[in-house]
Amino acid sequence: MAIRAIRKFRWVEGLFCVYKPPGVHWKLVRDRIETCILEVRGPEFRRIKVGVGHRLDASSSGVLVIGVGRGNKPLNDLYQMCCTRDYTLEGEFGFATDNFSRTGRIVERSTYDHVTQDKLEKVLAMLQQANQKALLIHSNVDMRSQEAYEMAVTGELGPQGKSPPILTGLRVTGFQPPFFTLELQCLNETQRYLRKVVHEIGLELRSTASCTAVRRTRDGPFTVDQALTRGQWTAAQVALTIQHYNNSKRQSRPLPAPAAL
C-alpha cells in the first residue's frame, strides 16, 4: 500500500507557490492544499507531506512557497539559500502602535505636515547605506578583493551563515500623506521586523508611522504572478503549476505565470 500511495502522488510532487491572503494563518493554507490533494486520490490515502518555505505571519499576504512530497527537498534547499525576497509595505504617518501595525494599541500621535517625499527618500537612502555596510560585514569577503567586486556586480554578495535582517533595496513607490508605499528587497527578515522599519522611518522624520500592510511579491525564483489564488487551490491546478515550474527549470528560462484551468 505504501509503494502504491507513493506512486499515486508522483503526479503532484514538486514546488509551487500560492498567494496567502491577509488574516489567514499559513498552517491553514498548508492544510487546505493537503486536503485538496488527498480528496482527489481517495480515502485510502491519508497523508502526503506538504511543507512550507519562508513563512508569512497571519496579518501578512503574498507569495508562500510550498513543497509537496519529493518537493520538500528542493524546498529546504531554497529555504537555506541566500536569496532575497521582495515586499510591498503600506504605511501611514501620524500614529505609532505597540506592535508597529494598525491593529496595535496606539501609543503616540504626531503631526506629519512637514514630511515630504524628498525627506522620506533621504531617510531611505540613509537606511540603505547602513544595511549595505551590514551586508559587507556579514559576507566574510575581503572588500578590497576582485572576488568581492565581481560578487557585488552579479548580485551574489550575501551574508555567510546567520545574520540579522538586511535590506538590500528600498524605494518609495507611493506618497500621498498620510499614506505611503515602499518596495524593498531583504534577507533574513521577519514581517515584524519590516513593520518596525516603517516605525523607525517615522521617527527619523520626526513624526510617527505605522505599517498598515505587508505583502510579499517574490521569494527567490517565485513571484506573485505565478502564485495560485485561493480559488485555484485544487489538485489539478497544483499539478499543472508544478509541472510548469519543473519544465521551466529544466529549460533555464524565466517563469511566466501558468494558465489557469
The CA distance from 231 to 7, in Å, is: 27
* 154 bridge partner residues: none
DSSP per residue, 119-175: HHHHHHHHHHHHHHHHHHHHHTS-TTSHHHHHHHHHT-----SS---EEEEEEEEEE
Cβ neighbors of 256 (< 8 A, separation 6 or more) are 225, 226, 248
Cα-based distances in Å from 241 to 183, 229, 258? 27, 12, 6
In the structure grid, which three cell numbers stand for residue 121, read together?
A: 527618500
Residue of 31, 57, 113, 142 marked active site: 57
Look up 57 and say whether it is catalytic.
yes
Q: Which residues have a catalytic role annotated?
A: 57
